[in-house]
Amino acid sequence: MSAVGPVSASGQRPGALRTAWSELPVLLLGSVPVAAAWAVLRSLPPGWGWLALLGVGLVVLPALAVLVRGCEVLLEGERVGVADLLLDLVRCWPTAARVTVVPTAAALLALIGLHVWRVSHQTWVLASVGACLAVTVATAVVAVVALPYVLRTGEPARRTWLVCSYVATRDLVPVLAVVSALGLGVWGAAHLSFALVLLLPAPLALVWACALATATRRSRARLASRSGPRPS
């Protein structure tokens, strides 16, 4: 498991703020695909919730993950251009979608189950809905780590989910911080104009990248302490 970058724990937050300020135009332009996709989905009729769910899981989140990857590169002290973000969006979208499709499919099955329960009023359907919701929550938490990880390493799906499950379960606080930030972002994006929605993806991506760096660094330190010095 590779670390996000050589950003120290003490200097990560000021460095992130300086990076966000110096690269603000790039981050804002990189936010356009995310905000545009969200604006299209928000304009859907209320009865098309299933399509909005698919759009968020398979379009918005992969696009945001590419922006997170760009923030990771910036935190490593390297430069990222708008062209780099656009090329990564095209190149990395299938890889990111293969991660997000798991919680998206589980959430869609839960939505279908709720519809079946409203129509049939069969109590046993609620058990299926509960199971789907549990899978949705569990895989969504792991996907917070898995999305940037798979874009950075290109690891196969099985190894990605195993490694990221370890990181997410051992360092849950940074992961939940990302989930909370995303929840607040979704709430804000549901009520703001497009011009203001455009300002949300960049700080969310930066928070995501910093939290992932913290979780990954702690997991590496924990593994190193468990292995200990080898006897000569």
pLDDT digits (tens, 9 = 90+) for 10-40: 445 565 556 666 777 888 888 999 999 999 9
In a domain, 2, yes or no: no
Determine, yes or no, domain membership for 162: yes
Dihedral over Cα of 167, 168, 169, 174: its sign: positive
Number of domains in the chain: 1
Q: Which domain, by its residues, includes 162?
A: 12-215
pLDDT at 84: 86
The pLDDT of residue 228: 56
Q: Is the dihedral of CA 121, 127, 132, 136 positive or negative?
A: positive
- The DSSP output letter for 55 is H
Tokens of 122: 């069969």
Task: Establish if 221 belongs to a structural domain.
Answer: no
**Residues in the chain, total:** 232
Residue 64 domain-assigned? yes
pLDDT, tens digit, for every residue of 145-195?
999 999 999 899 999 999 999 889 888 888 999 999 999 998 988 888 888
Tokens at residue 107, please? 């959430």
In a domain, 186, yes or no: yes
Q: Flag whether 112 is in a domain.
A: yes
Residues 101-122: what's their mean pLDDT? Answer: 93
Question: pLDDT at residue 226 above 80?
Answer: no
Q: How many CB atoms lie within 10 A of CB 89?
A: 20
Q: How far is 176 from 144, CA to CA, in rounded Å?
A: 9
Among the listed residues 58, 63, 56, the one whose alpha carbon sits nearest the alpha carbon of residue 41:
56
- Cβ atoms of residues 6 and 58 within 8 Å: no
Residue type, 73: V
Task: Give residue 9's pLDDT.
Answer: 42
Residue 222 within a domain: no
Residue 218 pLDDT grade (very low, low, confident, very high; cuts 50, 70, 90):
confident
Q: Is residue 3 part of a domain?
A: no
- Percentage of residues in the chain with pLDDT exceeding 70? 88
